[in-house]
Amino acid sequence: MERRTLLKALALAGFARQASAAPPANMKGVEELQKNWKTFLPAGTTVPSPTEPVKLSKDEWRKRLPAESFHVMREEGTERAGSSPLNDEKRPGIFACAGCGLPLFTSAMKFDSGTGWPSFFTVIPGAFETKKDHYLIYPRTEYHCARCGGHHGHLFDDGPQPTGLRYCNNGVALKFIPKDAKT
């Protein structure tokens, strides 16, 4: 990639992030989102607990997940930027783990980062565990589903205020459950 093309892409990504829907202006708003996340679920939905682990063999995961989801979630891969239809998902609802169904984010926690991956500025409490990743030489914070251990993405400190966080998630690791879905 030419340097000029890279610089243009970075500038557009920054502009897109600032032009997106604004998250709550203060931490109290974020705490309310985290506390009231169940209001984004369809009525009558049963929610799995992060303390009910899902442990399957590699072959069982391979049968359960599509190939690209398996690569991302079980082999810590990354989907191609801009390939997820969830980038454009705007309806009220829940983003759950594609591996085990654990609710991870609400639609109100999502923002357009301009990166090409679904991005969120906060999470449903207890949804993830983290670890350091040195794959690209410099350390990054990688996050995994607390229930099934599936890899979802990386956490960065370039998100919108008030958290300043960006959970950069692979779309193939998520399933979207619209609030108006029939259960």
Catalytic residues: 168
Q: Return the number of other C-beta atoms located less than 10 Å from residue 127's C-beta.
A: 23
Whether the Cβ atoms of residue 172 and residue 72 lie closer than 8 Å to each other: yes
Which of 102, 139, 95, 145 lies closest to 120 in space, CA to CA?
A: 95
Q: How far apart are CA 11 and CA 66, in angstroms?
A: 34
3-state secondary structure of 176: strand
CA quadruple 133, 135, 140, 142: dihedral positive or negative?
A: negative
